[in-house]
Structure 1
């Protein structure tokens, strides 16, 4: 190949496969790049063209078949982070002023909130701990 060793071309291919990996964030390109590096190693050790292509295909395929399902499973198992008012649902608060179906005040996450009870028949006295069921506008619905 014009005086340049074959293993260098495999490394160029690996670098070329790394570019779309960075631009698209598709990990498959990285796995193909690792396969190209393995093929470069095979060429450097004196392996023929067929051996280089077989090593590239086997390493790339094995990585795609093994790593991609593991990565998908890890992404699916990652807990979803709540923010804003969604993060307040399920938290406990302390009643500051009697809370009933009409209204009241609680201390939630260090702040004073207006609140009302989920069950209009229930009332909670000051000092009692309540659970925040939802946030309705600027009012915490508690039980």
Structure 2
């Protein structure tokens, strides 16, 4: 046991911290593993055990303190590019069959959709342009 250098133990620790990173997908384990790699580098340069532990702690805490808030901020941002039905909301469509409170057909983004008017008292005639305000299932709600 005494024949194995300290830097090897730090790399074993880094690998051991990589396992829960992969299993749990918690990035904090990766930051701790990076701290262990930094301590292994310090041990490779012949730094004492206390300094190695301090390098591990400083690098790990610095990564957690700096990287984690940035990652949380990016995770909470909504996507800038609307896709799916969210991309269709607010688009204009052309009425193909009369649309009223009970139904009808429109051409939306090159496709034929079933549609109904948001205001049940309102009707839209063939050829008229309407705005899509919502999508419920396969039916566009228009005004």
TM above 0.5, yes or no, is: yes
1:24-103 matches, cutoff 5 A? 24-79=24-79, 83=84, 88-103=88-103
Deviations 1:66-85 (A, max 9, x none): 100000000001428654x5
- After superposition, the Cα gap between the structure-2 partners of 1:6 and 1:102, relative to the gap in structure 1 and judged at 3 Å, is closer
- After superposition, the Cα gap between the structure-2 partners of 1:141 and 1:42, relative to the gap in structure 1 and judged at 3 Å, is same
**What runs of 5+ residues in structure 2 fail to find an aligned partner?**
none
Range with bigger deviation, 130-139 or 56-65: 130-139
Corresponding residue number in structure 1 for 2:23: 23
Task: State the TM-score, normalizing by the size of structure 2.
Answer: 0.86
| Distance apart, 1:59 and its partner CA | 0.2
Distance, in Å, in 1 between the alignment partners of 2:96 and 2:139 is 14
- After superposition, the Cα gap between the structure-2 partners of 1:96 and 1:7, relative to the gap in structure 1 and judged at 3 Å, is same
- 1:124 aligns to 2:124 (yes or no): yes
Corresponding residue number in structure 1 for 2:115: 115
- Aligned-residue CA RMSD in angstroms? 2.1
| Distance apart, 1:86 and its partner CA | 5.6
Deviations 1:95-120 (A, max 9, x none): 11232334322112333223222123
Corresponding residue number in structure 2 for 1:140: 140
Range with bigger deviation, 120-129 or 5-14: 120-129
Instruction: Kindly tell me the number of residue pairs found equivalent between the two proteins.
Output: 142
Deviations 1:34-87 (A, max 9, x none): 00000011111110011000000000000001100000000001428654x565
**What runs of 5+ residues in structure 1 fail to find an aligned partner?**
none
